[in-house]
Amino acid sequence: MIDINAYLECKRDLVNHSLIQFLPAGGPTVVNSAMRYNLEAGGKRLRPVLTLATAEALGAGEESILNVACAVELIHTYSLIHDDLPVMDDSDLRRGIATCHKVYGEAVAVLTGDAFLTLAFHVIARYGLIDGNAEKAVRIAFELAEAAGTKGMVGGQVLDLLAEGKNLSLEEIENIAFLKTGALLKASVICGAIAAGATKNQLKSFEKYARSIGTAFQIIDDLLDYEGNTADIGKPAGADQTRLKATYPALLGLDEARIKAEKLYNEAVKSLDELDCPTELLAALAGKLVYRER
Amino acid sequence: MIDINAYLECKRDLVNHSLIQFLPAGGPTVVNSAMRYNLEAGGKRLRPVLTLATAEALGAGEESILNVACAVELIHTYSLIHDDLPVMDDSDLRRGIATCHKVYGEAVAVLTGDAFLTLAFHVIARYGLIDGNAEKAVRIAFELAEAAGTKGMVGGQVLDLLAEGKNLSLEEIENIAFLKTGALLKASVICGAIAAGATKNQLKSFEKYARSIGTAFQIIDDLLDYEGNTADIGKPAGADQTRLKATYPALLGLDEARIKAEKLYNEAVKSLDELDCPTELLAALAGKLVYRER
């Protein structure tokens, strides 16, 4: 029996410790200090934990994989900072504390986001400079750039901004959810698999798993925003409702949305069954995503 | 005798043609359209031409090097869009036309910059997926991430914002100039050299060359801002003066600043003399940087 909470906590600590090591050394200029502020704000670190757990399923030790896991989290961190800007989602609160631009001003927040995005590729490049890693690093950089770019997070954020106040179809909602959240969740699994030397067939199964949990994760996020309170979710509750955002519960209702998330969880677990390696941990992580309370 | 103007025009056309090919296919969403707007605004394309000319000096053909050259220009393009934002330098005009945020709004401008930065690493990753290129791609990604990050352009932009209205020493001005401009100019040369398979010693000479022209380029930029008019330089003239920015002419005076730029040009040419390959083109390009009129 896996103690998934203990596993999560252990890997989260490992990732947090490692992320801080990647911060540029030298004098505490304002952008260094803003980067540290954002990393120390914490977070669930689900993406890097998925990267580590995927690599572990394939039998890869965690030392150099940790670089890949951290790069994924750095891209996530950049996207939160830019999404929170007044010209975007205009959020004052993130992970329970003031957002980057509230503390450091908008100019520094834009630059801090830029710095995190750049640092992610810096970390992957350094990983690739290790003997024998170059080809893996190039494939990982490709996956991350796909997930972050216009066919991923940037595209999703644009569509999300354009969608405010509009009635979207389920297909459109699913597309935005995949671009904004699913693409990087998928990449966090795929990059762990590449780093661990997965075969083509294994990559296919991991991708199905990752796609299912990506959508499930977004549905649960939307549900928590409807049901939650600010203290629980660390950002202003009902923010999506206030801005009339297209969400799963808005279209499907609360019950149907939850049923859909649970169906996706079952599909994710089924995809893992295709794999010829131990996947209990990844199944337990999928469960944590779907049955979480914040 | 090299016709440097014809060379520049030919390579600029090549780069422009290639840059457009990298734009994401698919429907004209607003961010795709904003990316196209920024690329079609043109520009001197000095950085990618430096990349191509460096690789040519080492005897490398231009087909796959063009990817590397374009990645450098994509990073430059991202930085201009973010630097022009109202919360940064607040510029309405760039390359003679309205800046990205004036046409598409600030949210899209932030995301378009993000998209260009991401695309640069996407292009390098794809270059690295070509047989035999992975190690070069990793080294190039490292150089670009160094140049773009907190020890490069992001750091320089932060220091520049903090420096407004302050009296800086020559050393501080030089540091900001290197971070903001010199770091990517250096990377554009070094990445061309890496792609062409330069030796360690060759890289050292190219780096000296690139550092000298980087600083010279910034001095001339500052001088043009003092002397120029808006039509000539494509952005509001005297913008640096208006915002009391730290510049070389402000500290050294116009004549001393020009003498310094010419001295750096001579040093750049001297660094080229150390190389055992044909460098007339790179010398001519250095001349174009220092003796340009806009």
Range in A38-42, B48-52, B100-104, B106-110 with the lowest mean pLDDT: A38-42
Fold of the CATH domain B4-290: Farnesyl Diphosphate Synthase (1.10.600)
- At A84-124, the pLDDT tens digits run 999 999 999 998 899 999 999 999 999 999 999 999 999 99
Closest CA to A203 of A216, A215, A224, A189: A189
In chain A, % of residues over pLDDT 90 = 73
B144 contacts on A by Cβ (under 8 Å): 121
- At A281-291, the pLDDT tens digits run 999 999 998 88
Is residue A117 within 8 A of residue B116, CB to CB? The reply is: no
Flag whether pLDDT at A243 surpasses 80. Answer: no
**Element of type H or E holding A19:** helix A4-22
CA distance readout (Å), A43 to A40, A46, A95, A235: 9, 8, 6, 12
Q: Tell me which residue in A24, A30, A138 faces B138 most closely, judged by beta carbons.
A: A138
Name which of B31, B118, B131, B158 to mutate to probe chain A: the one with the most chain A Cβ atoms within 10 A of its Cβ: B118
What span, in angstroms and rounded, lies between the C-alpha atoms of A95 and A73? 14
- In A83-112, the residues whose Cβ lies within 8 Å of chain B are 85, 87-88, 105-108, 110-111
With bands split at pLDDT 50, 70 and 90, how would you rate the model's confidence at B75? very high
Closest CA to B67 of B82, B48, B43, B95: B48
Claim: this prediction has a pTM higher than 0.80: yes
- B240: exposed, middle or buried (C-beta count within 10 Å: 0-12, 13-18, 19+)? buried
Mean pLDDT within B231-248: 58
- At B1-46, the pLDDT tens digits run 779 999 999 999 999 999 999 998 765 689 999 999 999 998 899 9
Mean pLDDT of chain A: 91
- At A179-230, the pLDDT tens digits run 999 999 999 999 999 999 999 999 999 999 999 999 999 899 889 888 765 4
Enter the DSSP assignment of A271.
Answer: H
What confidence score (pLDDT) does residue B79 get?
A: 98
With bands split at pLDDT 50, 70 and 90, how would you rate the model's confidence at B245? low
- At B124-161, the pLDDT tens digits run 999 999 999 999 999 999 999 999 999 999 999 999 88
DSSP E strands: which ranges in chain A? 93-94, 97-98
Q: Does A130 touch chain B (CB under 8 A)?
A: no
Q: Does B35 touch chain A (CB under 8 A)?
A: yes
What confidence score (pLDDT) does residue A27 get?
A: 59
Is residue A285 within 8 A of residue A4, CB to CB? The reply is: yes
Q: Do A128 and B134 touch (CB under 8 A)?
A: yes
Q: Do B113 and A114 touch (CB under 8 A)?
A: yes
Q: Give domain limits for chain B.
A: 4-290
B126 contacts on A by Cβ (under 8 Å): 142
B142 contacts on A by Cβ (under 8 Å): 122, 125-126, 128-129
What confidence score (pLDDT) does residue B236 get?
A: 58
Range in A27-41, A75-89, B235-249, B278-292 with the lowest mean pLDDT: B235-249
Range in A3-17, A203-217, B34-48, B240-254 with the lowest mean pLDDT: B240-254
A111 → chain B, closest CA residue: B154
Q: Does A170 touch chain B (CB under 8 A)?
A: no
Is residue B188 within 8 A of residue B75, CB to CB? The reply is: no
Q: Does A163 touch chain B (CB under 8 A)?
A: no
B157 → chain A, closest CA residue: A111
